[in-house]
Amino acid sequence: MSALAVIGAFVALALALGLLARRGHTMSLEQWAVGGRGFGTIFVFLLMAGEIYTTFTFLGGSGWAYGRGAPAFYILSYGAIAYTISYFLLPPIWRYATRHQLHSQADFLARKYRAPWLGVVVALVGVTAIVPYLVLQLKGLEIIVSETSYGRIAPHPAVWIGVAVLVAYVVVSGVRGSAWTAVLKDVMILGVAVALGVYLPIHHYGGFGAMFAAIERAHPGFFALPARGMSPAWFVSTVLLSALGFYMWPHGFAAGYTARSEDVFRRNAAIMPLYQLVLLFVLFVGFAAILTVPGLKGADADLSLLRLSRATFAPPLVGLIGAAGVLTALVPGSMLLLTAGTILAKNVVRPFAPAMSERAVGVLARLAVPAIALLAVAFTLQDGGAIVPLLLLGYNLVTQLLPALLASLPERPRATPLGAFAGIVAGEAIVTWAALSGATLAKLFPHWPGAIADLNIGLVALIANAVVMLLVSAVTPRVPANEPAAREPRAPALAGAAGR
């Protein structure tokens, strides 16, 4: 049996699960987008853990371990900090969102600041950040399909095959399908990552200690952060930025809405760190590839996991590994598309057409899915970058929502709508300018010491963002302290929530 046949079988299984998952549920926007808010610990856990095991970690994580060494440790680090933050941050967000029947992150900020136009801005930022994240998943699909076909399918057709599966999957099943497939995906990726991470170092080097010693001999200093570039200052600022941005992703934010109770988050804060330790084994795979399949340069380092698998195993086993990889792109990819569709329809279009029915919004959300997917395909086919920098770009964009969110949490927001807006614009302007021009602090100020010059520019943008937000808030009107009773759709919200 060829590797591709194995992958095809798993894709068919995922589609079947997606169809099964919708049985017994009419696919209203409420069901499609937030699963009726009835998910318990395990489903919420798996949906939010989607962030941990994506193509980013499977191929990008091993690719960075292969190509960069110690800087790849950042991938293992930021999640742990993010989970400690989640314990305190997610319960109040969940309480407010459930009370007001919110569907998206943009709903949250629009409602808190009494400013639907701010929701439009937040939604646009979210969709913009989602695009590089989607490109990353498509790149993963491209690599998997072309590698596991042993070169018979060229990369570009592979992207089209991948995106067709992804779009069909999202439109058919909604968030319930993602949750069900997430179970399959996590079982497979756990099995595959641990098996590869244990077997490959032992098979090729005789053990972990021997592997690290051999790499250290061949590349002295590979497991320490370099003095310049990806230095300790880079590491600390990137870990901090990624941890702060972890729950700012619109899909992660909205995945939290599917929870049945706030204790789900407190429990997950203790379980998630152990769960993400599996990433360690993904790093081991990348390290194992360094001396066994040498010579993959630049973005090609992302191929290391599959190249080593091909060099070690028979095609059916390579197919199983590829299938696990396809699922790591499919589940997060579907969450990304679903969220982007929902917020485009509900938070960007609807404010301009308030008469739209909930049903029409649901239809529009589904129609938006292929459009966003096509945009991501266009970028994927055009750009040859590596996986990890794509995610870092997305993080830089999405983390800029944090100051406005934090300021909105008290009963009466600490910032004004205009202040929140100005802060977001300032932060995004810096990040976008840096991404387009390739500017870094080190290039702008070559004589500054590494401790400052190597800082992630996203963190600088975040600080500027907060300062601008506070300054503008000091001179513009705040939202009123008490919610206007007439606009409060509270009764149905409570009735809906009290039943659980």
Partner 1 sequence: MRPKPRHALALLPTLMILVGVPLLNGAHGTVLGLPPLLAWIVAAVVLTSVVMAVIRALDGHPAPDSAPPPEPGSDPRA
Asked if 483 interacts with partner 1 (CB under 8 A), we say yes
Least distance in angstroms from the C-beta of 381 to partner 1: 36
For partner 1, the closer of residues 460 and 472 by Cβ is 460
Count of CB atoms situated within 10 Å of the CB of 24: 7
Q: Which is nearer to partner 1, 223 or 379 (CB)?
A: 223
Distance CA 33, CA 53 (A): 21
Using rule CB under 8 A, residue 494 touches partner 1: yes
C-alpha 325/C-alpha 147 separation (Å) is: 12
Distance of CA 489 to the CA centre of its chain: 32
Q: Is residue 145 exposed (0-12), middle (13-18) or buried (19+ Cβ within 10 Å)?
A: buried
C-beta of 22 vs 267, nearer to partner 1: 267
Measured from the CB atom, the residue of 274 and 436 that comes closer to partner 1 is 274
CA distances from 422 to 248, 417, 427, 430 (A): 18, 9, 9, 12
Please state the closest distance from residue 95 (CB atom) to partner 1, in A: 5
Which structure tokens are listed for 214?
């051999």
State in angstroms the smallest separation of the CB of 391 from partner 1. 19
Task: Name the nearest CA neighbour of 175 among 309, 356, 33.
Answer: 33
From the list 160, 199, 223, 313, which residue makes contact with partner 1 (rule: CB under 8 A)? 223
CB-facing half-sphere around the CA of 1: CA atoms within 13 A: 12
- Binding segment for partner 1 among 92-100, 353-361, 386-394, 438-446 (CB under 8 A)? 92-100
Cα radius of gyration (the chain): 22
- The token pair at 55 is 């193509």
388 binds partner 1 (CB under 8 A): no
Please, which residue, 266 or 478, has the CB nearer to partner 1? Answer: 266
Q: For the chain, first and last CA: distance in Å?
A: 48
In the stretch 402-441, what mask flags binding to partner 1 with x, by CB under 8 A? ---------x------------------------------
Return d(Cα 333, Cα 50) in angstroms, integer: 9
Which residue from 5, 19, 28, 40 is in contact with partner 1, where contact means CB under 8 A? 40
How crowded is residue 328: how many other Cβ atoms within 10 Å of its Cβ?
Answer: 29
Minimum distance, C-beta of residue 198 to partner 1, in the bound complex (Å): 12
Tell me if 62 contacts partner 1 by CB under 8 A. no
CB of 234 to partner 1, least distance (A): 10
**Binding-site size, partner 1 (CB under 8 A):** 54
Residues 56 and 388: their CA atoms lie apart, in Å, by 7
How many residues in the chain?
500
Helices (H), 73-154: 74-99, 105-112, 116-148
Which CB atom, from 269 or from 377, has the smaller least distance to partner 1?
A: 269
Q: Which stretch binds partner 1 (CB under 8 A): 189-197, 227-235, 315-323, 470-478?
A: 227-235
For partner 1, the binding residue among 19, 28, 95, 353 (CB under 8 A) is 95
Write the interaction track for partner 1 spanning residues 186-215; mark x where CB under 8 A is met and - where it is not. Answer: ---------------------xxx--xx--
**Smallest distance from the beta carbon of 282 to partner 1, in angstroms?**
13
Structure tokens at 343: 């917020």
The nearest distance, CB 118 to partner 1, in angstroms, is 21
Q: 262 to 301, contacts with partner 1 by CB under 8 A?
A: 263-264, 266-267, 269-274, 276-277, 280, 283
DSSP label at residue 439 = -
Question: Shortest distance, CB of residue 269 to partner 1, whole angstroms?
Answer: 4
Distance between CA atoms of residues 203 and 347, nearest Å: 53
Tokens 């010579």 found at: 295
73 touches partner 1 by CB under 8 A: yes
- As a whole number of angstroms, the distance between CA 287 and CA 205 comes to 11
Question: Which residues, 6 or more positions from 314, have their beta carbon under 8 angstroms from its beta carbon?
Answer: none
- Sites of contact with partner 1 (CB under 8 A): 40-41, 70, 73, 76-77, 79-81, 83-84, 87-88, 91, 95, 98-99, 207-209, 212-213, 216, 223-225, 232-233, 235-236, 239-240, 260-261, 263-264, 266-267, 269-274, 276-277, 280, 283, 411, 483, 494, 497-498, 500
